[in-house]
Chains A and B, each alone.
Chain A
Amino acid sequence: MSTGLVKKLRTAVLLGFVFTVIGLLIYSRIMAYSLAPTMKPADFRGLAIWEIPIAYLIDYFSHGWICLLFAFVAAGLVYEFVPKEAITKYMSSGRVAGYGLALGMAPFLTVCSCTMVPLFGGVLFAGAGIGPAITFLLMAPAANILSILLTGELISWELAGVRIIVSIVVALTAGIVISKTPWGRAIEKEHQQTVPTGQASIEIVKPPLDERLWASLKFAAYLAKQILPFFLLGLVAVSYVQAYLPEDIVGTYLTGVTGVLIASVIGGPLYTPTLVEIVLGKGMFELGMSKGALLSWLMGQPYDVANALAVSRIAKWKVVLTYMLIAWAGSVVFGLLYGMLSGSL
């Protein structure tokens, strides 16, 4: 067989796989088949301790595999096909473009935290300033494609939409506020430097379609390998929460103004970049958590600890503390607002 034919065949097979995955999701939509776990807290009550996680995992994966598969494949494809060189070129070009790109592109570029921190540093050093860098940093984990897809599929698309909008507002506010503070400016001055304007030093090699498809599936598998072990552990924890957390505790502490405050506080430290917060949020929502508290809970992630540590090495702790405070305030304010507007506080 000629190599040309092999290449065409490979492209066809890979494209076929991608379209099958997309088709499966659409089909499950049309058939109104639930992709979220269907077990209710009451279903767990009769089970032995060791049976609970097993029953939950089986329930979860029998419904959730299409959604997970789609989320990972989509993340891989988007990451591979997003025009990275165009983005990085404009990111160094100025403030307004910097903010715009940080908001528009962060969700697509940063399914992996190891791309996020260097971009933060790069944007900062390249002269776009600390504002866009912070915006980018907050926007990325709050509204990346994986977590939005899963929020939409598992909880509701309404919440996913609200999550995106609130992330934009909070990230932009934090960026602008920090760029005005004296300590933010100090960092900016310290790191700013001129960047080659010609961009002649970058000539990206474009690989053929079959290799790009293969690379995006490989990246999807890499993401899955990174995330799934924690995701599984998280699901086990969720199954126990579902089984043993009494509904009246959730009803008392995770609704109303107190609910929003508590959810926003525990959402931060508990956040792991593993999508567990979505399943855990869903579990508590079913136990009676209000919509407002749920939003606060999901918005807790931008001030997670691991992220903050990595950033504090470049920016000083004052900057980290400022953006954490703003993110926290944002999650409380918008949690309350959303709770009131949706009639579920």
Chain B
Amino acid sequence: MLHWTIAVFGEENYLDYWKKLEPNLLSVTNGWSAAYGMFTKGEVPIVLSYVTSPAYHLEYEKTERYRAAVFQDGHYRQIEFAGILKGTKRIKLAREFIDFMLSEKFQNAIPLTNWMFPVIQHQPLPDSFRIAPHPKRVPELNPARVNQQNSKWLKEWSRTMSQ
């Protein structure tokens, strides 16, 4: 969310956005879990989650009650990844495992277990994914810039939010 505001509003204006948002925030949690728990227990009407979240509720709870809002300015993308450590002693095994992760069988299991879009789509998405919108725009920040600036942004952000 922080990166999204920086990508959309720029480094000069993102804090203004947060200042306007702050009075409407019930809480900022230490992770997705607590926030989403509060959301599903009816404590809040809106939560920051994934566009794929409604698919879970459709698949297991047979309800279309939960919807993902589509942002005009696009959505920030969360990429989950796997890597091989530089100093590994079992490079061959590690490569084989990454190949396995990219295999059809593995990727087909992603939507209904990790509730994300697969990296390689081998078969049509499960029916419940019809409720997950495909964002048209995906604003992004250069990873090198994130790496360099993140700690500064976090600092500025937490100071703005706890005044």
Please indicate whether A and B come from the same complex rather than being unrelated chains. Answer: no
Instruction: List chain A positions with a Cβ less than 8 A from chain B.
Output: none
On B, residues with C-beta under 8 Å from A are none
